[in-house]
Each structure stands twice: as C-alpha cells, then as structure tokens.
Amino acid sequence: MPVRGDILVAVNTRKSWREKLHNPNLPKVVEIPPNMRKRWGSGTMLVPDPREVDALIRKVPAGSLVKVSELGATLAAKYAVDVTCPLTTGIFVRLAAEAAEEDARAGKRKITPYWRVVKEDGSLNPKFPGGVERQIERLREEGHRILPGSGKLPPRVADVARPRSLAAFA
C-alpha cells in the first residue's frame, strides 16, 4: 500500500460495474469470424456498446420480458448488420445487472430492470446478482408465474412471449 507520511493510503484500483459499462472502443462492426459462420453465415456482426445494452433493458416495462436474442436483434437492426455478437451481448446483460445492483446499494431507486431479461426458453439466469432466487422474487412481484427447474436446468418463466422488437417498448 502507498504510504503518505505516517498514513497508509488504501488504493482501490478495481473498476466499478458502472465504470465497466463505459468502453470507448465499442460499438464496432466486424466481419463474422470464421468459427461463427456455420451458425450465422457470412456478413457483418456488431460488438455492442454495453451502455446500449443497458439502455435497451431500461426500456422493458414492468410485467414484460425480453430475451437476450431480442436485445441482439434490435441492435443488429439499428446498425444494419447481420447479427449482434451473442457472447458479448450476454456478457453485457450481466454487466448491466451487476451495475444495477451496485446502483441500488448506492441508494439509487431507479435501476436497470435486468431481472426482465430471460434466456430463449424463458429460463432464468443463475449468474445474475442473487442468482435465480432473486430473479424469481422480482419477477413474481411483477406478476409472472415461474416454473420449477429440472435437474441442472434453471427455473423458467411460464409466460415468455414470442420474439418482438424492443421498438414495441419505446
């Protein structure tokens, strides 16, 4: 630890989750990598800006749900690309969730409603803050019915809707 006079000074070099949302190198459009072409074909892929993922999640109203793929499709349409990188989109959803909980701990009342983001089959995300238990609690508060998990499969929302554009929430 650095020493200033007779005082030890604690240095926090770790970025907050909110700070991690700020990446000056994103968004960027790249060619779909060869290892992803079997699934996505050739063309262009968006590596999104984490702040845009966070902003899209904020548009989802109480009582509604959004799938990770719907976030990606909305961003792909905005940037006129073939696909949004599903890996980074998922990572940025988690980042938005952690930043939201960090904001809540700091006393902010209006946080990103990350619990409204579900996987393709409506399953919940065990990597969210508080795990699926916390996501279940928040979704039930908004009137959703949760089906139990089975084996290694996490619980899922019973009423997950068909894919839609997030423009429906604008």
* pLDDT, tens digit only, all 170 positions of the chain: 455 555 555 556 689 999 999 999 999 999 999 999 999 999 999 999 999 999 999 999 999 999 999 999 999 999 999 999 999 999 999 999 999 999 999 999 999 999 999 999 999 999 999 999 999 999 999 999 999 999 999 999 998 765 555 666 65
Tell me the DSSP string of 13-70.
-SPPHHHHT--TT-SEEEEPPGGGHHHH-SSEEEE--HHHHHHHHHTSPTT--EEHHH
Tell me, yes or no, whether 9 lies in a domain: no
CATH of the domain at 59: 1.10.10.10
Q: Is residue 24 in some structural domain?
A: yes
In a domain, 134, yes or no: yes
Structural domain tally of the chain?
Answer: 1
- The answer to whether residue 7 is domain-embedded is no
Give the range of the structural domain holding residue 139, as residue numbers without chain letter.
Answer: 17-161
The answer to whether the pTM exceeds 0.85 is: yes
Q: How many CB atoms lie within 10 A of CB 165?
A: 11
